[in-house]
Structure 1
Amino acid sequence: MPKTRIAVAGAGLIGQAHIGVLLASPTCALSAVVDPSPAAAAVASEAGVPLYASIDELLAQGRPDGLLLATPNSLHVPQALQCIAAGLPILLEKPIATTVAEGQTLVDAVERSGARVLIGHHRAHSPIMAKARQVVQSGQLGRLVTVMGSATFYKPDAYFDGGPWRREAGGGPILINMIHEVHNLRMLCGEIVAVQAFASSAIRGFAVEDTVAINLRFANGALGSFMLSDTAACPRSWEQTSQENKAYASCDDEDCYVVAGTHGSLSVPTMRLKTYPRDEDRSWWKPFEVGTVGMVRDDPLKHQIEHFGAVVRGETTPLVSARDGLQNLRVTEAIAEAAASGRVVDLH
C-alpha cells in the first residue's frame, strides 16, 4: 500500500523533529516542506522534498494527503481554518490557539464540518502515559484521592536572550510549559473544574512569572497540587525523567507525578506501585505491597505521526480532538488568571 503523503508547514525546531519522524515512518512519507524563510530551503533539500512558500502554493501545486502545522502560534487558527475549507486533514501543533476565544472559533469550524483535526499534544501518545492511565482506570489504586505533580527545571540565560519575548507577559512557564502538564493531568485524573495559584518572579525579576504553585480540583472530587518553575535546579519534570526526548539529561530515579487513591499510589514515570492488599484493613502502620508496573519507553512523536496517518486515512478518530486542545488552553488560561487575581477560578 502506498505511504500516506504528509507535508510539514514550519521548518523550525519542532517542524524538523516531525520531519525526522516522517522520514523514518513505515506508513507515512514526507511530501513537502512549507515555509517562506530562506533557511527552509536547506531543510527541504536535505529531506529531498519540494519547498513551498505558502499553504496556497502547496494546495495548488503539490497537495498532500495531510498537513502538519508546526508554524508560529499566531498562525494556528487562520491556517487551520484554511485547511478545513480545503478539505485537508491536519495535525495542528499545540497550543490550539493563542486565546480561548480564538480556539473556540476553530472548534466550532471543526465540529460543524466534521474535519479531521488532530491536536499535537504529543505526550498523549506516550507509552508511559498510556500505561499510567491504564493503572489508574483499572481501579488498582482505589478511588482517586489526589495527584501531586511538578515541572521544575532550570532554563539558561541563553533561552531568554534568544527570545526576549519570554521575559514578558505570556512568555512564562504557565503559558509555555504548563499546557503540556494540563493534558497529562486530565488524562490521568479527569476534568479539572477549578484552579487557584500563587506566582512569583522573585528569582529573575522579569515581568513574567518564573515559579508557580497551583492547586487543582477535579470533577471526580480528587484534588491536586502542582509545582512549576523554570528557575529551580531540580529534575522533577517530564523532560528530565521520561527519557523520551534525548536532548535532555535524564534522572531515571526521579518522578514528576504521584497519583494516589484509597488503596495505593503510582509514581510516574518510574512506575513504582505501592498498594495495600485488597483483603486486609488499610492502615499507615501496615506495609505496602511494592512493585513496578512493566512498560516500554518510546518516542511519542513517532506514535503520534502513525496515529495521524490513520486519521488521514479515515481509520480512526483523533486521540486529541480540537475540543481537547481547547480545554487544555482553557485550564492553562485559568491558572494564569488565578495567579494574577489571587482568587479561585471556576471552570464549570
Structure 2
Amino acid sequence: MTTPLKIALIGAGAMGRQHAGYIAKESAASLVAIADPFSSALADEIGIKHFAGHCEMLDQVRPDAVIIANPNDLHVTTAIDCLERGIPNLLEKPVACSREEASQLIAAQQRHSVPILVGHHRRHNPVAERAKAIIDEGRLGRLATVTGMWQTCKPDDYFSMEWRRRPGAGVILINLVHDLDLLRHLCGEIASVQAMTQNSLRGFEVEDSAVIQLEFANGALGSLTGSDAVVSPWGWDQNVNEVPIFAKHLEQSCYFLAGSEGALSIPQLTLWRYGDTRGWQHQLVCESHRYPQDSAQQRQLAHFLKVARGLAEPLVSVADAARTLAVIDAIQEAARTGQRQVPLTP
C-alpha cells in the first residue's frame, strides 16, 4: 500500500480551508502542517502544526508536497521558496500578478526542475472534459461565436481582507481568470482583446465589473461579462455544482458556443443542430450529453498527487497558466487605454 503523501498548506483563508477539506477526503494524502501569518484557527481545528511563516514550516516539516493558497501577490515568491527546497506544489491561480512575475517563476522552475500544477481547477471538471470532446469531435463545425458570463454578488465581509480591495485582486484576476482559462482550453488561444471596466458599484481601487471582447486565433469572436456586485443567476459557480458556498441555479447556462454546424450550452451540455434541412425557418434538434458527477477539486488533488510523485505531467503547467495571465494583462491594458491589445506571452 502506498504511503500517504505528506502535504503542507500555505494560506488558511477561504481557499485554504477548501483545500484542507479535499485533502481530508483523499486517502492517498495527509495534511501535516499549515502556514498562515494571520490565524492558527484551521490548524487548531484539524489538530496539526501551525506556523506563522511558510519557510520555517518547509524547513522543519519537510513535506512531500505543498498547496499554495495565500494572497495573489505572494504566489510567485512562495512558489520559488518551494522550488528552492525541491518541493512540488499546487499553486492556486493566478499563477502570478504580472507577465514579469510569471517569467521569474518559469525561469526558477527551469533551474530547479520541480513540478508545479497551477490550480485552474475547472479544467478537471467532467463538464469541461465532455464539452472539449464535443468541440474537438467537430460537432459545432467551425466555431464562430462564444458568449460567457460570471456575475454574482459577493457579501461585503468578503472584502474585509485588504488585499481583495487593492491591485492584484479584482473580479478579472480573482474570478474571470477561471473563465478565460477555460475558454482558452475549450476554444483555442486568444489572439486579441478589447475591454471596459468599472469600480463604481463598490468604489475600491480594483474593478467590480468588466466587459471583455475576445478574438480567438481560429477566427471565433467572443464576449465575457463579469461582476462581483450584481444580482444574477449566471456564472459557472452558480450553474455548476462545484463550489458549495455558492447558491445554485443549475438550470441556467453560463457559456454559449455557436459554430457552422451546431451550438452548445454549458454546463448543461445541450447540443443544438439542424436535422436534414438548414435555415432559420426549420426547427433545431437538441440532444443532451451526460457526464460523471465528480468534484473538479477532488480530481485536481488526485492529479496533483500523481504530479508530485512524478507519475504525471501537470494538466496546467506554469507556462500554460502564464498564457492565461498574458490575456489578463492584455485585458487590463485594453481597459486602461481603450485600445485593442494582443496578449504577450512570457
| Smaller-chain TM-score bracket | over 0.9
Distance 1:80 1:214, change over 3 A: same
Structure 1 residue 259, shift from structure 2 partner: 1.2
Aligned residue for 1:141? 140
Structure 1 residue 19, shift from structure 2 partner: 0.9
CA distance in 1, matches of 2:35, 2:202: 37
Aligned residue for 1:177? 175
Aligned residue for 1:288? 284
CA distance in 2, matches of 1:168, 1:60: 31
What amino acid does structure 1 have at the position aligned with 2:48? Answer: V
Moved more, 110-119 or 261-270: 110-119
Superposition pairs of residues 126-205 of structure 1, within 5 angstroms: 126-160=125-159, 162-163=160-161, 166-205=164-203
Superposition pairs of residues 317-332 of structure 1, within 5 angstroms: 317-332=313-328
TM-score scaled by length of structure 1: 0.92
Aligned residue for 1:122? 121
Secondary structure at the counterpart of residue 106 of structure 1: helix
CA distance in 1, matches of 2:312, 2:295: 21
CA distance in 2, matches of 1:212, 1:128: 25
Aligned residue for 1:30? 31
CA distance in 2, matches of 1:230, 1:59: 35
Unaligned runs of 5+ in 1: none
1:347 has 2:346 as partner = no
Superposition pairs of residues 1-348 of structure 1, within 5 angstroms: 1-37=2-38, 39-40=39-40, 42-160=41-159, 162-163=160-161, 166-277=164-275, 280-347=276-343
Structure 1 residue 167, shift from structure 2 partner: 4.8
1:263-322 deviation per Cα after TM superposition (whole angstroms, max 9, x unaligned): 111101111111224xx4432222222111101233211111111100011110001100
Secondary structure at the counterpart of residue 154 of structure 1: coil
Distance 1:13 1:231, change over 3 A: closer
1:154-182 deviation per Cα after TM superposition (whole angstroms, max 9, x unaligned): 2333334x245545555431222211111
CA distance in 1, matches of 2:167, 2:53: 30
Secondary structure at the counterpart of residue 237 of structure 2: helix
CA distance in 2, matches of 1:13, 1:180: 17
Aligned length: 343
Structure 1 residue 35, shift from structure 2 partner: 2.6
TM-score scaled by length of structure 2: 0.93
Structure 1 residue 59, shift from structure 2 partner: 3.4
CA distance in 2, matches of 1:165, 1:308: 27
**Alpha carbons 1:175, 1:333 under 8 Å: kept:** no
Identity of aligned residues (%): 41
